[in-house]
């Protein structure tokens, strides 16, 4: 049985995993700052793959789709601490510090931070709240969140643009976006939001572009990618189905055989 621990206190999240673990399909709704204390985490976004190694600190923007695999070190455990910056908090902070939101942030959605003893010390200061079962009260949580923002801002002005761009996703090229993100198994409503559309507008535009519904297109696209990965890359069905966006192996195998007339294990 897998031994694991995930503890969330307000906007702080502590993860401890003893075996390699694939994370749930994740829609990152708020900016997240994370520290990998031990092990490493493999992240896949629509723009590519990133490995965050032990001792690294990374920042990811809100409104991102992410797949993750947590990998503990040999004989040890994967441990990470994350802090989330909610939009309400950042708006309050910007008012308190007279920060006027500037231009829309156009940089990388995921940033690995350079080594910094102050940021490292900050995350070390959070660990006792999880390892000693001492839950911070709301005012202390607010102070620790402000401290994280202050540390980011002292590292460079572009972090101000990163954090205080409150604009919502604008209407983007639907075909290009879906072809890059079809393997993320999230509700259609999330795809609509991320392409800058209401759900009704998304479905209407989708049918104009692809001449089919989102559900039918996603299933066919995922099956075609799975067929390619199994037939041309020699991968096992059990290693492929999650990567292409299916939730469980039995449903994938049934749908694959129904579509191609042969079980995925026989391709």
pLDDT (tens digit per residue) in 61-87:
999 999 999 999 999 999 999 999 999
Percent of the chain topping pLDDT 90? 79
Query: Which helix (H) or strand (E) element contains residue 146?
Result: helix 138-153
Decide if pLDDT at 12 tops 80: yes
> pLDDT value at position 4?
47
- CB contact burial 104-118 (16+ within 10 A = b; e otherwise): ebeeebbbebeeeee
> pLDDT value at position 1?
35
Distance between alpha carbon 226 and the CA centroid of its chain, in Å?
Answer: 22
* Beta bridge partner(s), residue 58: 34, 112
> pLDDT value at position 2?
40
| Region class of 245: left (phi > 0), else alpha (psi between -120 and 50), else beta | left
The mean pLDDT value for 29-48 works out to 93
196 touches 221 (CB < 8 A): no
The mean pLDDT value for 209-231 works out to 97
pLDDT (tens digit per residue) in 114-143:
999 999 999 999 999 888 877 778 888 899
> pLDDT value at position 260?
96
Q: 1-5, 27-31, 198-202: which range is least confident on average?
A: 1-5
Q: What are phi and psi of 39, to 5 degrees?
A: 80, -160
d(CA 103, CA 82): 27
Nearest to residue 2, comparing CAs of 12, 14, 15?
15
Query: Which helix (H) or strand (E) element contains residue 3?
Result: none
> pLDDT value at position 106?
87
**Mean pLDDT, all residues of the chain:** 92
Q: What are phi and psi of 64, to 5 degrees?
A: -120, 150
The mean pLDDT value for 135-152 works out to 90
């Amino acid at each position: 049985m897998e031994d694991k621990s995930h503890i969330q206190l307000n906007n702080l999240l502590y993860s401890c995993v003893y075996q390699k673990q694939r994370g749930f399909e994740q829609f990152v709704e708020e900016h997240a700052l994370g520290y990998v204390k031990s092990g490493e985490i493999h992240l896949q976004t629509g723009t590519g793959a990133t490995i965050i190694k032990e001792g690294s600190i990374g920042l990811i923007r809100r409104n991102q789709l992410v797949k993750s695999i947590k990998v503990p070190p040999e004989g040890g455990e994967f441990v990470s601490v994350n802090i989330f910056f909610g939009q309400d908090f950042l708006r309050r902070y910007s008012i308190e510090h007279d920060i006027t939101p500037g231009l829309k942030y156009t940089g990388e959605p995921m940033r690995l931070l350079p080594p910094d003893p102050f940021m490292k010390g900050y995350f070390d200061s959070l660990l006792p709240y999880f390892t000693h079962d001492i839950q911070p009260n709301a005012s202390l949580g607010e102070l620790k969140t402000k401290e994280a923002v202050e540390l980011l801002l002292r590292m460079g002005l572009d972090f101000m643009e990163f954090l205080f761009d409150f604009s919502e996703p604008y209407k983007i090229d639907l075909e290009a976006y879906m072809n890059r993100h079809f393997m993320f198994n999230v509700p259609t409503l999330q795809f609509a939001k991320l392409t800058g559309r209401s759900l009704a507008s998304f479905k209407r535009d989708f049918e104009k572009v692809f001449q089919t519904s989102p559900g039918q297109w996603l299933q066919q696209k995922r099956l075609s990618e799975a067929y390619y990965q199994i037939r041309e890359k020699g991968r096992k069905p059990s290693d492929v189905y999650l990567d292409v966006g299916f939730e469980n192996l039995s449903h994938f195998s049934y749908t694959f055989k129904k579509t191609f007339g042969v079980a995925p294990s026989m391709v």
